[in-house]
Chains A and B, each alone.
Chain A
């Protein structure tokens, strides 16, 4: 069965500093991988997705993620964090017909 691990429950980053959120997955074949963001009281919004091709994927809001098959990882990065990036971030892997398996999420706090 597929699974996703987000090892960091909370991360605090200073505004303007770089960010990396970790995601490791377990899947037998080439996975479909996603990062979603959830602002407080809101639904989930897709940041970026990887299906095939270039392993460095660009997303919205200045985010990017890199697929590393050898490490079974799909870490999310941003070079300079803004206060508005404070939210919860979910990594997910696609199973079958788009049935997503989500990680437990990482809550990002941004300090001034």
Chain B
């Protein structure tokens, strides 16, 4: 079982370009999440999805969009990247219960120049 996979592992992107970060889980979890991790700020929630077909905004959603067409995939799109979006991005998933553990992917390191 792979758990959660993220792609790419790392990316350097010119400002203004569009970028999609991919996230796939094979645990059949209903809920999925995107976080960004910045030095000194810990992890902050960008967007989440409680189940396929629904999404919600987290703490820092501006400049990002997500979709949840099926249970397994939860891509994160930067429509027009800016340098402040340079960060490490983590995808996570959990089962439906609010007490269930979130499992994290290995992360994508994104640099916007």
Chain B: minimal CB distance from A59 (Å): 11
Give the nearest-CB partner of A90 in chain B. B42
Interchain residue pairs with CB less than 8 A apart (30): A32-B98, A32-B99, A42-B106, A42-B107, A43-B90, A43-B105, A43-B107, A44-B92, A44-B104, A46-B103, A49-B99, A51-B99, A90-B42, A90-B43, A92-B43, A94-B99, A96-B98, A97-B31, A97-B50, A97-B98, A98-B31, A99-B33, A99-B48, A100-B33, A100-B43, A100-B45, A102-B35, A102-B44, A103-B42, A104-B41
Q: Number of residues in A with C-beta < 8 Å to the partner? A: 22
Q: Quick one: which of A92-112 are within 8 Å of B by CB? A: 92, 94, 96-105
Q: Does A14 reach chain B (CB closer than 8 Å)?
A: no
Known: A97-B50, A98-B94. A46 touches B43 (CB 8 A): no
Bound form: Cα–Cα A25–B33 in Å:
22
CB-based closest 9 A-B pairs: A43-B104, A102-B42, A104-B42, A102-B43, A44-B104, A43-B106, A51-B99, A46-B101, A98-B98
Chain B: minimal CB distance from A80 (Å): 26
Bound form: Cα–Cα A46–B100 in Å:
11
Q: Does A45 reach chain B (CB closer than 8 Å)?
A: yes
Give the nearest-CB partner of A4 in chain B. B42
Bound form: Cα–Cα A45–B103 in Å:
7
Give the nearest-CB partner of A6 in chain B. B42
Please tell me if the beta carbons of B42 and A98 are within 8 angstroms of each other in the complex: no
Give the nearest-CB partner of A42 in chain B. B106
